Amino acid sequence: MSIAPRQVQKTVKDYIRNIVDFPHEGIIFRDVTTLFADARGFRMAVDQLLAPYAGMRIDKVVGLEARGFVLGGAVAHQLSTGFVPIRKKGKLPGAVLSQAYTLEYGEAVMEIHDDALAQGDRVLIVDDLLATGGTAEAGIRLCRRLGAEVVGAAFVVDLPELGGRGVVERTGVDVHVLCEFDGA
């Protein structure tokens, strides 16, 4: 009698590809496109991102450009709620609110439509990666400027050495991450 080998259950982290020296030498890029391309991996990530918020009132899911659109749209669908994009400056038509934030190598600006959220809306922010926390903090500020309550921020990957979790938590927003990677 032969015994079939036991299959090891994959985690979200197992679906993420590491690309060395991208976009610059010394950086290890955590590529979630391989996670998105695998039906089971993508489903697992979406289910795990929304799990802490199931049963809560969430009026909108806010996705941060660009991979946050893929994840946020799927999470919004599963929660049966609307989706709002926060984009890089100049990408949204119509009236917008802008928020500058600091990057490792300079400054950038994120924008949201000025009518995307209503006073008192309860929102969940979703993105693929939490690094320094600048983009997430800018997203939180934009949501709050429109009168929304940010009930959480969910990310697939956290890079703890870069301190982003602390930046987001200092805004009073709880952070939910699916996996962590050491190093930048």
Active site residues: 67, 104
Angle at 47 between CA 16 and CA 9, to 5 degrees: 55
- Residue 183 CA to residue 181 CA, distance in Å, equals 6
- Residue 167 CA to residue 16 CA, distance in Å, equals 24
Alpha-helical (H) ranges within the chain are: 33-37, 39-50, 67-79, 134-145, 164-169
Residue 124 · residue 53 · CB < 8 Å: yes
- Residue 98 CA to residue 117 CA, distance in Å, equals 14
Nearest to 110 by CA among 86, 92, 128, 80: 86
Task: Tell how many helices (H) and how many strands (E) occur in the chain.
Answer: 5, 9
